[in-house]
């Protein structure tokens, strides 16, 4: 396991992050404490130190389990949790980005994790209401109180993150150090804005659902579509029945064929693709429901892709350019902006 510096911080985190959303059986689809502990142990044995959870994962069980597992080695691991999503649908202030929910959610997470601080505290999503100045000031107060070391943004618009970090710089507040975004071979929308955003603001980029909910493991294909119909992932967000849409199955089948020629599992190849992103380093958040799944996926670290293989993977699902990026890529625009020497201009 190699290590990377987390954005503008000096914090060292492993190149694979252990996602613990499946720790706990409260929702009927997770893993038992015994299996979760084994997965945690294998990850630590491999040198992993970056642990990701959230206050809503398995109704708090994920945090409680993780708190037990890290006991005795708290200083050796980097623990990240999140707030924003509702913990009580009947109470309006038990969700959202605002200070009240942030402070209460953190106290609850610290209690479940049996620790007095978090290494990273993620804003779990944009509530479309709370202003950036309230969020950044409240997060900074938690940092200054010693309860949080670094802060990150997940599922927030690029413009909001840029505004928040600009405000933080102007007011000497703690900026976002890392991003956690939905990114994999099937879902590549963030390439239009977020790689440039991460570079401009010196933020690390982590990827949730790097295997597209299991689609990129080779389990789902046209032949297996009917047999997979009872899979729980087909009945809940962020996938549902759309998980088996034709274009998604085509990508999965292309990945499986390429993995066969290389001599590895599709999941390993999908994860290796993330680790080889030319736009910037990506840290996949790796979860598993069995120890065997976890061991298989960890072997992605042994795969070294050449440029031809990377290009083949890229070509499976090139993201369609969105405006204004679509405009920038036209010959007409480049000529109008840079004249006849546009092809000779170096960045």
- Looking at residue 232, its pLDDT comes to 53
- pLDDT, average across residues 146-160: 98
Domains of the chain: 3-316 (3.20.20.100)
- pLDDT, average across residues 286-293: 94
pLDDT band, residue 333 (cuts 50/70/90):
confident
pLDDT band, residue 240 (cuts 50/70/90):
low
Tens of pLDDT, residue by residue over 250-285, are 999 999 999 999 999 999 999 999 999 987 789 999
| Listed range (52-66, 130-144, 202-216, 218-232) with the worst mean pLDDT | 218-232
Q: For residue 324, say if its preceding peptide bond is cis, omega within 30 degrees of 0.
A: yes
- Looking at residue 227, its pLDDT comes to 44
From the list 3, 40, 43, 57, the catalytic residue is 57
DSSP 256-299: HHHHHHHTS-HHHHHHHHHHT-TTS-EEEEE--SSHHHHHHHHG
- Looking at residue 300, its pLDDT comes to 97
Identify the H or E element spanning 106. Answer: helix 99-113
- pLDDT, average across residues 172-183: 98
Q: Report pTM.
A: 0.91
- 268 versus 326: which is more confidently predicted? 268
Instruction: Mention every residue, 6+ apart, whose C-beta is less than 8 A from residue 153.
Output: 122, 123, 161, 164, 176, 178, 179, 180
pLDDT band, residue 244 (cuts 50/70/90):
confident
- pLDDT, average across residues 146-158: 98
DSSP strands (E only) in the chain: 3-5, 12-14, 17-19, 50-52, 78-83, 118-123, 148-154, 176-182, 204-208, 282-286
- Looking at residue 338, its pLDDT comes to 80
Residue % of the chain over a pLDDT of 70: 93
Q: Are 243 and 234 in contact (CB under 8 A)?
A: yes
- pLDDT, average across residues 48-64: 97
Q: Is the dihedral of CA 143, 147, 150, 155 positive or negative?
A: negative
* Residue 239 designated active-site: no
Q: Give the residue among 73, 74, 93 at the shortest CA–CA distance from 83.
A: 93
Task: Evaluate if residue 233 carries a pLDDT over 80.
Answer: no
pLDDT band, residue 224 (cuts 50/70/90):
low
Task: Evaluate if residue 169 carries a pLDDT over 60.
Answer: yes
């Amino acid at each position: 396991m190699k290590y990377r510096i987390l954005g503008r911080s000096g914090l060292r985190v492993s190149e694979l992050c252990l996602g613990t959303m499946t720790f706990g059986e409260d929702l009927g689809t997770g893993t038992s404490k015994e299996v979760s502990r084994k997965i945690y142990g294998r990850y630590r044995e491999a040198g992993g130190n970056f642990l990701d959870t959230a206050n809503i994962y398995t109704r708090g069980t994920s945090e409680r389990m993780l708190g037990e597992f890290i006991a005795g080695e708290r200083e050796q691991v980097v623990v990240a949790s999140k707030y924003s999503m509702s913990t009580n649908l009947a109470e309006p202030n038990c969700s959202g980005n605002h200070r009240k929910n942030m402070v209460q959610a953190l106290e609850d997470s610290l209690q479940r994790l049996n620790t007095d601080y978090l290494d990273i505290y993620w804003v779990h999503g944009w509530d479309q209401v709370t202003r950036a100045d309230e969020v950044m000031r409240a997060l900074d107060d938690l940092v200054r109180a010693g309860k949080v070391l670094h802060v990150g943004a997940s599922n927030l618009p690029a413009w909001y993150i840029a505004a928040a970090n600009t405000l933080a710089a102007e007011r000497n507040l703690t900026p976002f150090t890392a991003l956690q975004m939905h990114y994999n071979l099937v879902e590549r929308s963030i390439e239009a804005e977020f790689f440039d955003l991460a570079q401009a603001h010196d933020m690390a980029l982590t990827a949730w659902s790097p295997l597209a909910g299991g689609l990129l493991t080779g389990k789902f294909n046209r032949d297996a579509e009917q047999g997979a119909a009872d899979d729980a992932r087909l009945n809940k967000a962020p996938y549902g029945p759309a998980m088996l849409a034709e274009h998604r199955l085509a990508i999965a089948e292309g990945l499986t064929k390429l993995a066969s020629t290389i001599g590895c599992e599709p999941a390993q190849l999908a994860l290796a693709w993330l680790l080889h992103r030319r736009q910037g380093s990506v840290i996949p958040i790796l979860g598993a429901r069995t120890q065997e799944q976890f061991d298989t996926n960890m072997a992605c670290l042994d795969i070294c892709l050449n440029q031809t293989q990377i290009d083949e993977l890229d070509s499976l699902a090139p993201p369609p350019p969105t405006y204004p990026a679509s405009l920038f890529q036209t010959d007409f625009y480049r000529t109008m902006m840079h004249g006849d020497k546009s092809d000779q201009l170096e960045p």
